[in-house]
Structures are given as C-alpha cells and as structure tokens.
Chains A and B, each alone.
Chain A
Amino acid sequence: MTDIHTAAPLLEIEQLGKRFGGFVALDGVNLSVPRGQRLGLIGPNGSGKSTLVNCICGALQNETGSITFDGIKVDGMVAHQRTRQGLARSFQLPRPFRSMTVAENIRVPLLYTVNARPGTHLSQSELDDRCMELLKLVTLDAKARKYTTDLTQVEMRKLELARAMAAEPKLLIADESMAGLSHSEVEDIVALLIRMNERGVTIIMIEHIMRAVMTFSQRLVVLVSGKKIADGEPADVIQNKEVVGAYLGQ
C-alpha cells in the first residue's frame, strides 16, 4: 500500500459550497483525504454529511469550490463518470436493483465501470468469478441467485458495499451503512469495511454509531451546519469542546 504520508491526497476538497434555496447545506468545506486512509465523518442530523457525499459522487453539483480526485478535477462530471474514475458509494437506504438477483446486482458495476475502463474487458467467466469473489468477501455467496427482496437488512447493506466494491474503487464512501442494525451486525459491517480497506481502498465512513466510528476510523472529521468544526485523531476529536457542544448542546 502507498505511504499515506508521502503520497498526494486522493481526494482534495476546497471551499465546497452548496445551498438549497436559502438553506446553506455546505459552507466552504475543506477536506484532504490521503490514499489508504480510513476516515470517519460524523455530525448531527442536517449537518451536511449526505450533501457532501452527494457532491463528491456527482448526485448533486456543488455551487462553489472544487473537488479533485486522484489528480483530476471532477466538478461538472456526472455521477457515472466519477464512478469510472474510481469513486464509489453505498447509499444510506439500500437501493438494490430489485428485478435482479444478488449476483446480477454485482455484475452491473463490473459491466459498466470495470469493462468501460480502457484496456479492460472481462469475459463472462471472469465476470462470474469476480461476482463470486466479491460475494464471498461480504459472505453473501450462498445467496448469489436470490432476489434482493429475499435479503435481510444487514444482507442488503452488505450487498450495497459489495456492489460499490465491484466498481474497483480507489475511494469508497459508506453512507450510514450500519443504521438500524444490531450490535453484532454493526461489528460485522465494521470488520467488512476494514477488510475492504486492507485491499487498498480508501474509505470514508459516515456514521452515527460512535462505537463503530471509533473502532473504524484512523481520522475523524466533524461537520456541523455545513461547516467542518473538527478534524484529527478520533480520541482527540471526541474530546473537542465544540464537538461535545454540537452533540450535547451548549
């Protein structure tokens, strides 16, 4: 894996701004994410976390500032182009392709992202192998032929992550992948995200479950009212007075 301290940042966000009418969702956010890092992003509801993810991934266009990913400015690119650049995400509420089986869901990014990259063309058997490999990674291989309506909540979350991983991303943004899960299921997903990171994927995890955030994160960023109020070692950040104030009230 690349040395995170010497390499150029994988994601560089400068002065990012986004409004919805009169509501300021993001207010000059700066963020630099080195390669290979496990970054936790937290903040109260309405703090702008999901808007930030949507702006990074292209579901929303930022109004001010810039986003540079792997040395390329991705502002103005539509979502699928950013995915092909290596920027993948999972959704807060699982959004599987319901007319497809679990394995077919995984095939979509392989067909449209991996095969769309210059010099790559996976044959049918290679596609099948990759699907099974990813499903094994998330322990869904036994359900490869099942439809997504037959999956439990935690399995849906795993499918979301596997589908994001199928795009062979350099950066994966996991948007509240553990919401509504039990204690053991949360541990399961955290372990899965760490396994994905060990494969060389930089991960930004947005989460409310602090136990998971603290276990997972090498660095913690806090957003409040569209502004970054803290950024650093997780243990230090949670002691920060501004952070405590934002969560518990002044």
Chain B
Amino acid sequence: MRTPAFILVLTAVAAALYFTFNFVGNDYLFFAGYVVLQYIVLATAWNILGGYCGYVNFGSAGFFAIGVYTTIFFYTVGQKIDTLMPDWLIAPMKLIFPLPLPVLIVLAGLVAGIVGLGMGYLTLRLRGVFFAIATLALTVVMETFIVNWSFVGGSRGAYVIPPNEVPIFGNYIHFLFALMLLLVVIALTSARLIERSWLGVGFATIRDDELAAEASGVPTLRLKLVATVVSGALMGMAGAPFPYYIGYVEPASAFNLSYAVNSIAMPMIGGTTSWVGPLVGALLLGTLQQVATVTISSAVNLLIVGLLLIFFVIIAPRGIVGLYQDWFGKSRKGAKP
C-alpha cells in the first residue's frame, strides 16, 4: 500500500474510532483510550531506535517528560507574562499566549528531538547494556534538573487548568483524544516510511552487525542520530498533551518508570522489526492495563507487563508479529540464528 493510501486508511480508522466512542457517549472511553493511544505513540517511537536499530533505550520516560515540561514551561510563561516580560512586550505576548496545544506539541517535539540529538552524541558510541544504563542515567539527570527548577513547579509540581470546552469538539477530553489519534497517525506513518526506505535498510544493518554495516558504506553514527532524534521527538510529542489530560504534574508522575517499562515491553510483545509490532503490543497491553485498572487495581498494571514480557521472551522472542510470520510463512525480519 502506498503512503498516501496508508494515511487515508489510518485516518479513516481513527475517525471511525472517534465517532464510535462519541456515539457510545461514555467519556471514560475517551480517558482510557487516550492512555492507550499515548502508549502506541511511545512504543512506536521507542521501536525506531530500539527495534529498528537494536539500541535499547531506557530513557523513554525522560523524553516523555521533556514533552510534559515543555508544555508546563510555556503554560507558566503564559500565566506570568505580566511579571516576566518588559512592559512593551506584554501586549504582543498576550496575543500569542497561551499557546494552542497543537503548537505546544510541535515545540515539545523540537525540544525532545534536540535533546535526543545531544543524548545520541553522548551515548551512541556505547552498545548493549552500557547504552541502556547511560539512557537511564540521563533520565535521572533530567529528573533531578526538573525537581530543582522551581519555574516549572520543581518537586511540588505544577497545575494546568484545561478549558472546559473547545470549539468543534466540545468536551476537552474529546479534543485531547482526537489530538492523540492524530499523533498516532503521524507516528505510525513515520515508522512505516522509515521501515520501507533506505533509512530502514540502514537501521536494520546496524541492528544486525554494525561493523559489517560500516564496511558496506553505511554511516552508522549518522543514522543512529537520526533514529534518536525521530524517536525522541515523537516521545516528546506524546508527552506534550499530558498536563492538560491530568491537570496536575509532578516529576514523579512525568518521569514515571511505567513509561520506560511499557515503551520497551509493548514493542517486545508485539514484535520489534516492523511498525505493526508496537501497535499490536500497545493495543493489547494498554487495553489490558486499562481493564485491570477498573476491574482489579491500577497497582496490578506492571505485574501484567512483567508476566506478559516473561511469557513472550520465552515463548515468542520475536513477538506476536513474529509468531504470525512463523505460522503463515511470511518473511522473518530480525531472525536470529
């Protein structure tokens, strides 16, 4: 399927989902659906570096939080224009602020992309467990920085008051859900485009054998930096609407371990070598977690992730997509001897 057709199909599915939820008329579906969609974006973003290139990033929570705090930063600037800006700048700034959420999402993507580039330069000469530890350490550094930055709330956290209603969508959660659907379309399209382009071929060579890739003319460092930037930017974009969704953000929630764990577990369970894997994994795990939250307890979420991860690592190391390929004799990307 060509990319424009793929985008059309994806948009149609997204629209159908939105209107179905709207028709059911229960706002809980939008709240729960938002979280699942957020995880689809996070898992897809993680997979660009972790699945396609084979670099396991434990810093997803950090990139997600960059998106969260970009929103908090600009929201706070908008709230404090009178005290922050010189008199002559107040009037023009009040025309710009508060920034609309779609603009904040783009800004969060830019900031997270730039941080991704920096992280790439610092860490991409490391491999395996050393790279994973470095990304985890960078997240801790970022969290410490945020905890001590009072402008964005520091350790006490920050409040964001979303408007009650937005034009066209009405209820704000409907608007947030629609935005997240759009992000899912963007993330899946980007992942699929990468996978099918020369970039995807290059990423696969890095995953398979970096030395042989270099010997074949693949500029491995440059490609890894591209992967880190795209992956980081998408994670940041996923985090940008979060303060409007939850209303109150503190470092412990923005940098929550569950983002890092889910971002890894979902592609691993779905399958890491194609864009379908993270989608399937996030849909399965995300939905299970939401059901468990309302039927058992939210504390059981990580237990579900752990059990499923153990099951898939042992039974189907190439995830659900790998199982499907084995059963139906399809191509077996990422096959290990």
Contacts and interface: CB of A to CB of B under 8 A. Distances in A.
A84 B215 CA distance: 9
Given A80-B214, A99-B333, A147-B335, A108 B209 contact: no
A108 B221 CA distance: 16
Is the interface on chain A under 10, 10 to 19, 20 to 34, or 35 or more residues?
A: 20 to 34
A84 B217 contact: yes
A112 B217 contact: yes
Nearest to B273: A99
B133 interface: no
A80 B209 CA distance: 14
B138 interface: no
Given A97-B208, A98-B208, A108 B335 contact: no
A108 B213 contact: yes
A79 B333 CA distance: 26
A107 B201 contact: yes
Nearest to A87: B215
Nearest to B334: A99
B216 interface: yes
Interface in B227-275: 273
B214 A97 contact: no
A100 B273 CA distance: 12
Contacts of A164: 215
B204 interface: yes
Interface string B325-337: 0000000111111
Contacts of B211: 59, 79, 91, 95
B215 A97 contact: no
A83 interface: yes
Interface in A52-109: 57-59, 78-80, 83-84, 88-89, 91, 95-100, 104, 107-109
Interface in B287-329: none
Is the interface on chain B under 10, 10 to 19, 20 to 34, or 35 or more residues?
A: 20 to 34
A52 B306 CA distance: 48
Contact of B216 (A83, A147, A149): A83
Contact of B212 (A95, A99, A104, A111): A95
Interface string B44-75: 00000000000000000000000000000000
Contacts of B198: 111-112
Interface in B99-132: none
Interface centre among B211, B214, B335 (most CB of A within 10 A): B214
Contacts of B213: 80, 97, 108
A57 to B, nearest CB: 7
Interface in A85-142: 88-89, 91, 95-100, 104, 107-109, 111-113, 116
A99 B215 contact: no
Contact of A79 (B208, B214, B273, B332): B214
A113 B216 contact: yes
Interface centre among A58, A79, A96 (most CB of B within 10 A): A79
Nearest to B218: A112
Nearest to B198: A111
A116 B273 contact: no
A80 B204 contact: no
A215 B208 CA distance: 35
Interface string A174-209: 000000000000000000000000000000000000
B204 A97 contact: yes
A167 interface: yes
A95 B217 contact: no
19 contacts: A78-B219, A80-B214, A83-B214, A88-B215, A91-B211, A96-B208, A96-B209, A97-B205, A97-B212, A98-B336, A99-B204, A99-B208, A99-B334, A107-B201, A108-B205, A111-B198, A111-B201, A116-B217, A149-B337
Closest 6 A-B residue pairs measured CB to CB? A113-B217, A79-B214, A95-B212, A112-B217, A97-B208, A83-B217
Interface of B: 198, 201-202, 204-205, 207-209, 211-221, 273, 332-337
Given A80-B217, A100-B208, A113-B216, 14 more contacts: A59-B215, A80-B213, A80-B214, A80-B216, A83-B214, A83-B217, A84-B217, A104-B201, A108-B201, A109-B216, A111-B202, A116-B217, A163-B216, A167-B216
